[in-house]
Amino acid sequence: MPAKTSSTSPQKEAEELREALRHHEYQYYVLDQPEISDAEYDELMRRLQKLELEHPELAAPDSPTLRVGGQPREGFQKAAHSSPMLSLDNALDEQELRAFDARVRDLLGGAPFRYVAELKMDGLSMAARYRDGYFQQAITRGDGTTGEDVTENARTVRSLPLRVNFDRPFEVRGEIVMNHRAFERLNTEREELGLTRFANPRNAAAGSLRLLEPGITASRRLEFYTYFVLDEQGRNIFDKHWDALEWLSHHHFKVNPKRKVCADIDQALAFCREWESQRESLPYEIDGVVLKVDSIAQQQRLGFTAKAPRWAIAFKYAARQVETEIVDISVQVGRTGALTPVAHLTPKEVSGVTVSRATLHNEDEIARLGLQIGDTVIVERSGDVIPKVVRVKMQGTHRRPFRMPKTCPVCGGRVVREEGEAASRCINVNCPARLKESIRHFASRGVMNIDGLGDALIDQLVDNGIVQSVADLYDLTADQLTKLERMGPKSAANIIRNIDRSRVLPMPRVISALGIRFVGERTAELLAEYFGSLEKIASASKEDLQAAEEVGPKVAESIHAFFREPHNRQLLERLKAANLTFEHTIKQRKEGPLTGMTFVLTGTLPRMSREEAKATIEAAGGKVAAAVSKKTTWVVAGEDAGSKLDKARQLRIPVISEDQLLAMLVGGR
Ligand code: IVH
């Protein structure tokens, strides 16, 4: 990493971090050539954030930290464009394209001219203004004359430079797009939350740019591809469109490299055809090619019609649709247990790809389409990896309806569709389809906090059949782990120790670790307080469950169904046998491994909250005091421990970590 930050002034350190972040943003988001991992980038960002927080005087209008998104807002202000943002006339085939060319030639009176061909990105257009070299304002196209001020959201777009080496006021225009990867990720997330999917990347990009919370926009990973640079009045700065694109690229704006100067319409048409056939290989959606007359003087001669320039045209590609029949519908189980109906189709080719399956998302979607097995349907590819059924063209003569199975096709577990949810799910925590995800959740921070049990290790454990149930984690040995790839004896021992220590975490953690739908940290806490033991929760009726605070019929239903699944009951038994905390002891116990000891807590502990640590100590017979005194036995210190730590040192009270505290407890079992 280029940022060397030791022994320099905060000012210098901030500058170096900003420079490094700018460099990596450019490499990653503009050039698509990352030099460091996401985690390393995040780490640089965190360091800069921390530094700016500690030294508010270091704030700068172009700091990369501004990209994470600030305060939510109530609405968007309208803003006027410097010159109209027009749209384009379309050419739907070769003939229409040649007609456009003939018109241009005619109007230019036979003078020689060139076209610039660019891909027509399927997003939404936006203008970004710069003043004194700083990004100042971003406006959506709106009606072309007036748009919405989306400055704060645009700032989160990493490929939009916040500072440019050019002093005169200027404006760039271009396309905000969401690439396929970001689109897939967003839709998967939405499905998991029971929200509807975005129909295509353009809708997703438009929705994301107009969110009232810039922080969420930041997470959507939008991109900004530019194609115009104008002065303050919205006039061209360069004599040739191509030069404008080169200037943009030189000043670190993202410009699509797939562009070409064409000497005549045949060359332009060849470019259109070339990308039509390679459309599938692009990481983003395009819906055609835009041709622009290169010379700005000639553009001015050609002028505008009422709604579009005469010097440009959009060559539109045909929608990628095909007609086919639904032969069958099967069900796939996703990593969160969601059951997705998948249509099996009579194979057909759609723009160079043979399509034989299409996702139907869920039961509601099938009902919305009014679709049955045997129907003839229209299937479309529009940015999704998997094509989708758009509508029923003709009902089949021997059609039969699809029914969601009552048991999981992978493990035979119970399938439940929660109230208000679109998805049906397999609720067996240990279902092979969702086991990895169950373990990931179980081990995650804020749940059982098993440091070191990352994705790569989970993959190996599950793929090699070593772990077939979450409970198997507690039978793992360091020996077993060292046999795995990239696992030294030291890390193996650490992981085993971390697993071991998770046994003493308080009961609400165990409840949330089970991953019961709608049961998060807070509900787990309230359930623990009301019922006092996990077994009581497991055997409670729906009515009993609703007696607990904040538990409504929907949550009660989910908890009840969860414990009626035999696999989950088995899991519970095994976790109990592994000595996890099944009782919620808020009251102080007389006898326990910590009897007679007084603890003082300070700083942020890595695993437990203050309340949890207190409850845990008290449950083991110990006492927790607020201040350090001679009577204190141990001071448990976490990160950013303050004056209590100094006091402990003064009084020579031994200071221990949360880890050491947990070790005392595990030892006592
Ligand atoms: S030029 C007056 N270039 O397509 C000039 N537009 O149908 C209009 N688009 O509103 C814009 N890629 O949102 C231009 N390389 C490109 C484009 C592009 C996508 C969009 C843009 C525009 C629409 C026109």
**Secondary structure (H, E, C), 102-167:** HHHHHHCCCCCCCEEEEEEECCEEEEEEEECCEEEEEEECCCCCEEEECHHHHHCCCCCCCECCCC
* 120 Cα–ligand 1 center, Å: 6
Structure token digits, residue 198: 């975005």
Q: Where does the pLDDT of residue 4 fall: very low under 50, low under 70, confident under 90, or very high at 90 and above?
A: very low
* 26 Cα–ligand 1 center, Å: 24
CB neighbour burial string for 122-157, b if at least 16 within 10 angstroms, e if fewer: bbbbbbbbbeebebebbbbbbeeeebbbbbbbbbbb
User: Residue of the nearest CA to atom 16 in ligand 1?
Assistant: 120
Higher pLDDT, residue 587 or 309? 309
User: Residue of the nearest CA to atom 12 in ligand 1?
Assistant: 120
What is the side-by-side order of every strand in the sheet holding 286-293? 90-91, 312-316, 286-293, 115-121, 259-262
Domain boundary among 316, 340, 360: 316
Q: Is 357 a residue whose pLDDT tops 80?
A: yes
Structure token digits, residue 570: 């088995």
* 127 Cα–ligand 1 center, Å: 12
Q: Do 488 and 562 fall within a single domain?
A: no
**420 falls within a domain:** no
Number of domains present in the structure of the chain:
6
Provide the 3-class DSSP secondary structure of residue 290: strand
Structure token digits, residue 498: 């971390």
- pLDDT over 90 percentage in the chain: 71
Q: Do 39 and 184 fall within a single domain?
A: no
- Each residue of 39-93: pLDDT tens digit? 888 899 989 999 998 998 988 888 999 888 777 777 889 999 999 999 999 999 9
Closest CA to 501 of 455, 454, 448: 448
**566 falls within a domain:** yes
Q: Where does the pLDDT of residue 336 fall: very low under 50, low under 70, confident under 90, or very high at 90 and above?
A: confident
Q: Do 311 and 183 fall within a single domain?
A: yes
For position 491, which CATH number holds? 1.10.150.20
In order, the DSSP letters of 496-540 are: HHHHHHHTTS-HHHHHHHTT-TT--HHHHHHHHHHH-BHHHHHH-
**194 falls within a domain:** yes
Q: Do 120 and 242 fall within a single domain?
A: yes
- Any residues with CB less than 8 A from the CB of 259 and at least 6 apart, and which? 116, 117, 118, 119, 245
Structure token digits, residue 295: 């010379």
Range of the domain at 489: 450-502
Question: How far apart are alpha carbons 121 and 109 in whole angstroms?
Answer: 32
- Each residue of 602-613: pLDDT tens digit? 998 888 888 889
Q: What's the average model confidence in pLDDT over 378-384?
A: 78
Which atom of ligand 1 is closest in space to residue 256's alpha carbon?
15
Q: What is the pLDDT of residue 387?
A: 87
Active centre residues (catalytic): 120
Query: Which segments of 178-254 are extended strands (E)?
Result: 223-231
* 289 Cα–ligand 1 center, Å: 9
For position 341, which CATH number holds? 2.40.50.140
Pocket of ligand 1 (CB under 6 A): 86-88, 118, 120-121, 124-125, 175, 227, 290, 309, 312, 314
Question: How far apart are alpha carbons 249 and 257 in whole angstroms?
Answer: 9
Q: What's the average model confidence in pLDDT over 242-256?
A: 97
**632 falls within a domain:** yes
Which atom of ligand 1 is closest in space to residue 287's alpha carbon?
19
Q: What is the pLDDT of residue 385?
A: 63
Q: Do 160 and 236 fall within a single domain?
A: yes
In order, the DSSP letters of 389-444 are: EEEEEE--TT-B-----SB-TTT--BEE--TT-S-EEE--TT-TTTHHHHHHHHHS
- Any residues with CB less than 8 A from the CB of 402 and at least 6 apart, and which? 329, 341, 366, 371, 372, 373
Q: What's the average model confidence in pLDDT over 579-583?
A: 93
**648 falls within a domain:** yes
pTM of the model: 0.66
Provide the 3-class DSSP secondary structure of residue 314: strand
* 76 Cα–ligand 1 center, Å: 23
Provide the 3-class DSSP secondary structure of residue 82: coil
* 87 Cα–ligand 1 center, Å: 7
Burial-class residue 483 by CB neighbours within 10 Å (0-12, 13-18, 19+): exposed
Question: How far apart are alpha carbons 284 and 178 in whole angstroms?
Answer: 7
Mutate to test the pocket of ligand 1, among 126, 202, 290 (most ligand atoms within 8 A of CB): 290
Question: How far apart are alpha carbons 364 and 371 in whole angstroms?
Answer: 11
For position 46, which CATH number holds? 1.10.287.610
Higher pLDDT, residue 6 or 441? 441
* 660 Cα–ligand 1 center, Å: 62
Question: How far apart are alpha carbons 509 and 142 in whole angstroms?
Answer: 49
- pLDDT over 70 percentage in the chain: 97
What amino acid is encoded at 467 in this protein?
A: V
Q: What is the pLDDT of residue 588?
A: 59
User: Residue of the nearest CA to atom 9 in ligand 1?
Assistant: 120
Mutate to test the pocket of ligand 1, among 87, 173, 176, 245 (most ligand atoms within 8 A of CB): 87
Q: What's the average model confidence in pLDDT over 407-413?
A: 94
**79 falls within a domain:** no
- Any residues with CB less than 8 A from the CB of 569 and at least 6 apart, and which? 538, 563
Domain boundary among 379, 394, 409: 394
Q: Do 356 and 292 fall within a single domain?
A: no
Q: Do 570 and 648 fall within a single domain?
A: no
Q: Do 659 and 620 fall within a single domain?
A: yes
Q: Do 262 and 308 fall within a single domain?
A: yes
User: Residue of the nearest CA to atom 11 in ligand 1?
Assistant: 87
Q: What's the average model confidence in pLDDT over 312-330?
A: 93
| Inter-residue contact 611 to 505 (CB < 8 Å) | no
Q: How far is CA 290 from CA 28, 101, 167, 271, 320, in A?
A: 26, 13, 30, 10, 19
**658 falls within a domain:** yes
User: Residue of the nearest CA to atom 22 in ligand 1?
Assistant: 87
Q: Where does the pLDDT of residue 668 fall: very low under 50, low under 70, confident under 90, or very high at 90 and above?
A: very low
**Percent of residues in the chain assigned helix, strand, coil, to nearest 5:** 40, 20, 40
* 60 Cα–ligand 1 center, Å: 33
Q: What's the average model confidence in pLDDT over 452-471?
A: 94
Mutate to test the pocket of ligand 1, among 119, 121, 256 (most ligand atoms within 8 A of CB): 121
Closest CA to 152 of 41, 36, 269, 70: 70
**437 falls within a domain:** no
Lowest-confidence range among 287-296, 539-548, 656-665?
656-665
Which atom of ligand 1 is closest in space to residue 124's alpha carbon?
13
Q: What is the pLDDT of residue 68?
A: 81
Domain boundary among 293, 316, 339: 316
User: Residue of the nearest CA to atom 6 in ligand 1?
Assistant: 120
Count other Cβ atoms within 10 Å, centred on residue 340: 18
* 175 Cα–ligand 1 center, Å: 7
User: Residue of the nearest CA to atom 13 in ligand 1?
Assistant: 125
| Inter-residue contact 557 to 544 (CB < 8 Å) | no
Question: How far apart are alpha carbons 178 and 202 in whole angstroms?
Answer: 7
Q: Where does the pLDDT of residue 383 fall: very low under 50, low under 70, confident under 90, or very high at 90 and above?
A: low
User: Residue of the nearest CA to atom 10 in ligand 1?
Assistant: 87
Q: Do 144 and 226 fall within a single domain?
A: yes
Mutate to test the pocket of ligand 1, among 85, 120, 224 (most ligand atoms within 8 A of CB): 120
Q: Where does the pLDDT of residue 5 fall: very low under 50, low under 70, confident under 90, or very high at 90 and above?
A: very low
| Inter-residue contact 324 to 379 (CB < 8 Å) | yes
Q: What is the DSSP letter of 469?
A: S
| Inter-residue contact 175 to 253 (CB < 8 Å) | no
Q: What is the DSSP letter of 30?
A: I
Lowest-confidence range among 113-127, 196-210, 296-310, 473-487?
196-210
| Inter-residue contact 392 to 375 (CB < 8 Å) | yes
| Inter-residue contact 450 to 457 (CB < 8 Å) | no
Q: What's the average model confidence in pLDDT over 587-602?
A: 84
Across the chain, what does the average pLDDT equal? Answer: 91
- Each residue of 147-188: pLDDT tens digit? 999 999 999 999 999 999 999 999 999 999 999 999 989 988
Q: Do 132 and 228 fall within a single domain?
A: yes
Q: Do 545 and 661 fall within a single domain?
A: no
